[in-house]
Amino acid sequence: MNRICQSLRHPRYQILATTAPQSLLTRFLAADAATGAAVDKATMDKLVRTNKVVVFMKGNPQAPRCGFSNAVVQIMRMHGVQYDAHDVLQNESLRQGVKDYTDWPTIPQVFINGEFVGGCDILLQMHQSGDLIEELKKAGIISELLKAEEAKQQDDKAK
Amino acid sequence: MSKYDSKYLEEKLKRELQTEYVSVTDESDGCGGKFSAVIVSPAFSGKTLLQKHRLVNSTLAEELKEIHAFSQKSYTPEEWEKVKAQ
């Protein structure tokens, strides 16, 4: 436990999943501290469900460290989505763990309701086609863009 | 610097996926590290967006090990007709 507590102070272990259960964090850190191996499937199963929407990215939402991660952040902002973000640059085990988990080669990666949705490309296409609004609705999230559209329709009817 | 160029990737996608249309653009000033692709093939029929991307990723698995960024838009021929009409 002392080793784990010491590890908690190391910048590598800063995680932006503010709502993650403490027991999950402890287990997650233990797995990494003990072996340096990729984060295992059981831990990933929990990580992708700490919120309705979970994003594994480079950097954090306030300071994305690559254009593709930034694009995902901007899309989430447009839709008004609250989500957990994990900075894989802070943890190589997590970076490899999420790629192994999804069998997807790149970062960022987006999960909705625990299901892998895709990377930047897919999220952008879903945003452009309107599919993202539907996926968020299935997760019980009403997109700000949908609210704006419905408000506009109400205004049009009132004319 | 990767050893792959747009023409190579286009030919491989055309051969492996029997594409009706494929266009790969090198966006890395020629060093072969960043590409974007538009891919049209009946092989995408009945597949979700994620499945389409996985199919392309597995087709180019070897090349993607060296490519830093690969961006794709993948359509069935029917979807492509709609896109072109817009």
Q: What is the number of other CB atoms lying within 10 angstroms of the CB of residue A52? A: 18
Residue A149 to residue B19: CA distance in whole angstroms: 37
ipTM tops 0.85: no
pLDDT tens, residue by residue, A4-16: 444 444 344 334 4
Q: Could you give all domains of chain B from N- to C-terminal order, each with its CATH number?
A: 6-77 (3.30.300.90)
Question: Can the peptide bond before residue A108 be classed as cis, meaning omega within 30 degrees of 0?
Answer: yes
pLDDT tens, residue by residue, A102-145: 989 889 999 999 989 999 989 988 998 899 998 999 999 999 99
> Is the Cβ pair B57, A116 closer than 8 Å?
no
CATH of region A2-158: 3.40.30.10
Q: Does A23 score more than 60 pLDDT?
A: no
B35 CA: distance to closest CA in chain A (Å) = 12
What is the mean pLDDT of the segment spanning A136-155?
A: 91
> Is the Cβ pair B50, A131 closer than 8 Å?
no
The domains of chain A are located at 2-158
